Amino acid sequence: MESVTLDLQQSFGGLNEAVLVTNPDRIIVFANAAMEKLLRVGQHDLIGNTTKPFFADPAQFDRMAELYQRPADQKNRRMYAIEAVLGDGTRKQLEVVSAPLFDTSQTLAGLLFISRDVSDRKQLETQLSDLALTLEDALDAILEGFAIYDADDRLIICNDMYREIYAESAPAMFPGNRFEDILRFGLRKAQYNTGGLDDEAWLETRLKQHQAADGAVIEQQLETGRWLRISETRTSTGGIVGIRADITELKDAKALAEKAYRNLHLMADSMSACVGEVDLEGKCLFLNKTGCAWFNGTPEELLGTRLREKLPWNERDSVRSLFMEAMSGEKASGEIGMHFPDGVTRECLMDCNPRFNENGEVDGLVVVISDITDRKKTERTLAELYAITSTRELGHEDKIAEILRLGCDHFDLPVGIISHVIGENYTITHAQSPGDTVQPGQSFELKDTYCTLTLQADEPVATGHAGQSEFAAHPCYRLFDIETYIGAPLLVDGIVHGTINFTGRDIRRRPFTAADVQIIRQFADWIGHEIARQRDHQALMDAKIRMERIASIDDLTQILNRRAFLEKANTEIQRFRRTSQVFTAVMMDIDHFKSINDQHGHAAGDDILKLFTRTISRELRSVDIFGRVGGEEFCLILSGTGLEDAFTVCERLRKKIVRSCQDPRLSQVVTCSMGLAVSSREDVEFSTLMQKADTALYQAKSSGRNKCVMHDASPDSIAV
């Protein structure tokens, strides 16, 4: 038992994994230091006792008896989740896997258990939570209120502006709460102007609008008098994305325009929206400065013309339908994508307001066209970024590729690049470009790229017309003729890794916005987190490989230990039974090894063992298997080799040992005895073949040592 415990200690004592071994009677016979630490008990409370005191549910301990009753049953080869009671009385969730242990006669000798604390999952959940917080930070940079609800209409995330708009309902805005419950909370706080409807009638109407989520614009008034414009659309997963914009000022401005038409020019020209007036035939009567710029003309050129005829023919019907609706006396609003004569495509919110004469008849329209391109694009980009980063269907590289594609779409730029910067060297690691003209692996001097400006600024930088900015003096402008650039530093674990940037050779018609800066910052943050997570995963896999090597390699000789050797040896037996390709097992023992230890000390003995294994290993083929199965006992499998050829090999090895394994400190010549046995159909398990070779080894040692003996199945036969 002491030798078994020693073997277990050598195999598992130094592992970080918690290991425990019981005998067939469920009595603990071994527990490594990691298990003691996990269970918070000492060896004296483990060895000789059962594991039952550590089960919070005694019935689960009873059910696990099936492992001992049918240890080879594949249905028992699974992971068990156990709530454990630790030595200090606290409880912890463990994951436990087991494996039966058999002796050489295939009798159950016990079970090995490996336990793991699942607290690492909490760490992963924390990482995911950090990612969600990062997304929240990006959303908070948006000037409108933004919220996402899942397919069950439960809140996933919203920004601070959303909570600020609905300040009375903010306490109810937590992930998982239903949209209806949030509305009811606000009703109880008298947050909404219900327009004279009772609460339930108002709630029913609002929920129908919300569930439609068809992108239609909804205007809502709060009890404070503030007006909101609400736009809600369905996501691909069945959820709802909503934008809330405070349009109180716009409403007031429209009211002021209706009351004070003479001040229309002053007010309209101060607006960033296109503001115009048309008669019943659609001819332009007034157009503010923004409108003149969008329609690429002067007031003199544009007044008296039908502005909608300057739009592409396929967009005119949408404009005409809004005009006709407003001509009936009702305000009409709609979101339309429009290609304007100035060459810019804009997503617009178009409001058509009927103008009444003194007889109450409609005699014209006041039209306000607001550019909502950035808002809509930001909304779509953030929703898609959330979908990309939260899916499990994409791997690390695929997610990065999708983010580069998304960035190219968002910024309307052809090239997206992620770089790794080391010293003054700039290397492309990921790229998105037309025709794959930009390839990962390309390297440049950092000083020749705009990214040197990004890293110097330590924040996102952007230009839409490099030729008329400080970028024109940079070498990158001369070398690559890049007019448009937006880039951000890429940090991994707080250290500069490189940059993410999007570029194009054309001058940008639309300037970069604050939302664009926040978007690329969000891209950089997420990719930095993903690279760090991938590095952590790789480090974990490397550690696993090292741990597996430690578990299978003998510490002293650096060859296979007994357990690992026997696993490979049994595989060879199974291969032999399938293919009938013979192999020879060789038991090897260093002669008079005990006297070496006794006379010269264990350090000298260890040196001889290491010299012996190095000498043998250098003479073997890659297909041969060599392992240490005892103190000075070794076993060798010569693959595809019959008994006679194996004998020749062993004789060569024996002579090599005499020549190469001597130590000047020793008074004796180091020699080795070997016993050979060839595989046969009766060898169901390797242990039977190993016993034959061991018998031959005994004959070699008893007949004088320093010789090789072949096993013969006939009684009293020795082949030397």
DSSP result, 276-298: EEE-TT-BEEEE-HHHHHHTTS-
Let me know whether 568 and 702 are in one domain: yes
Let me know whether 689 and 568 are in one domain: yes
> What angle in degrees, to the nearest 10, is found between the helix axes of 593-600 and 602-619?
140
Residue 444 pLDDT greater than 70, yes or no = yes
Phi, psi dihedrals of residue 323, rounded to the nearest 5°: -60, -45
Q: Calculate Rg over the CA atoms of the chain.
A: 40
* CB of 609 closer than 8 Å to CB of 657: no
* CB of 369 closer than 8 Å to CB of 349: yes
Let me know whether 60 and 93 are in one domain: yes
User: What pLDDT score was predicted for residue 132?
Assistant: 58
For β-strands 415-422 and 345-356, DSSP reports them as unpaired
In terms of average pLDDT, the best of 11-15, 160-164, 255-259, 643-647 is 643-647
Question: pLDDT tier at 720 (50, 70, 90 boundaries)?
Answer: very low
Classify residue 473 by its DSSP letter.
Answer: G
* CB of 55 closer than 8 Å to CB of 145: no
Q: Please indicate, yes or no, if residue 636 is contained in any of the structural domains.
A: yes
Residue ending a domain, choose from 246, 273, 302: 246
CA distances from 243 to 143, 153, 213, 588 (A): 10, 15, 11, 79
Residue ending a domain, choose from 221, 246, 271: 246
What's the whole-number average pLDDT of the chain?
87
Let me know whether 81 and 50 are in one domain: yes
Residue 143 pLDDT greater than 60, yes or no = yes
Let me know whether 197 and 323 are in one domain: no
User: What pLDDT score was predicted for residue 367?
Assistant: 92
**Structural domain span for residue 182:** 143-246
User: What pLDDT score was predicted for residue 333?
Assistant: 92
Let me know whether 239 and 261 are in one domain: no
Q: Please indicate, yes or no, if residue 382 is contained in any of the structural domains.
A: no
Let me know whether 275 and 227 are in one domain: no
Q: What is the dihedral of CA 706, 708, 709, 711, to 10 degrees?
A: 140
Question: pLDDT tier at 104 (50, 70, 90 boundaries)?
Answer: confident
Q: Please indicate, yes or no, if residue 316 is contained in any of the structural domains.
A: yes
SS3 426: strand
CATH of the domain at 95: 3.30.450.20
Q: Please indicate, yes or no, if residue 438 is contained in any of the structural domains.
A: yes
Region of poorest pLDDT, from 99-108, 145-154, 184-193: 99-108
Residue ending a domain, choose from 215, 246, 277: 246
Distance CA 66, CA 662 (A): 54
Let me know whether 520 and 593 are in one domain: no
Q: Please indicate, yes or no, if residue 206 is contained in any of the structural domains.
A: yes
User: What pLDDT score was predicted for residue 642?
Assistant: 93
Question: pLDDT tier at 76 (50, 70, 90 boundaries)?
Answer: low
CATH of the domain at 659: 3.30.70.270
Q: Of 436, 445, 495, which Cα lies nearest the Cα of 474?
A: 445
User: What pLDDT score was predicted for residue 108?
Assistant: 84
Let me know whether 241 and 311 are in one domain: no
Q: Please indicate, yes or no, if residue 579 is contained in any of the structural domains.
A: yes
Residue type, 172: A
Residue 465 pLDDT greater than 80, yes or no = yes
Question: pLDDT tier at 703 (50, 70, 90 boundaries)?
Answer: very high
Q: Of 264, 254, 271, which Cα lies nearest the Cα of 331?
A: 254
Let me know whether 569 and 610 are in one domain: yes
**pTM for the whole structure:** 0.42
Region of poorest pLDDT, from 324-328, 423-427, 514-518, 713-717: 713-717
Pick left, alpha or beta for residue 80 (phi over 0 → left; psi -120 to 50 → alpha; otherwise beta): beta
Let me know whether 214 and 233 are in one domain: yes
Q: What is the dihedral of CA 563, 564, 569, 574, to 10 degrees?
A: 100
Q: Please indicate, yes or no, if residue 138 is contained in any of the structural domains.
A: no
CATH of the domain at 521: 3.30.450.40
Region of poorest pLDDT, from 10-14, 93-97, 392-396, 671-675: 10-14
Let me know whether 640 and 654 are in one domain: yes
Quickly count: other Cβ atoms within 10 Å of residue 442's Cβ.
Answer: 13
Q: Please indicate, yes or no, if residue 134 is contained in any of the structural domains.
A: no
Distance CA 587, CA 565 (A): 13
Residue type, 431: A
User: What pLDDT score was predicted for residue 717?
Assistant: 43
Distance CA 624, CA 401 (A): 45
What is the domain count for the chain?
5
Greatest CA span in the chain, whole angstroms?
A: 131
Phi, psi dihedrals of residue 353, rounded to the nearest 5°: -110, 125
User: What pLDDT score was predicted for residue 254?
Assistant: 77
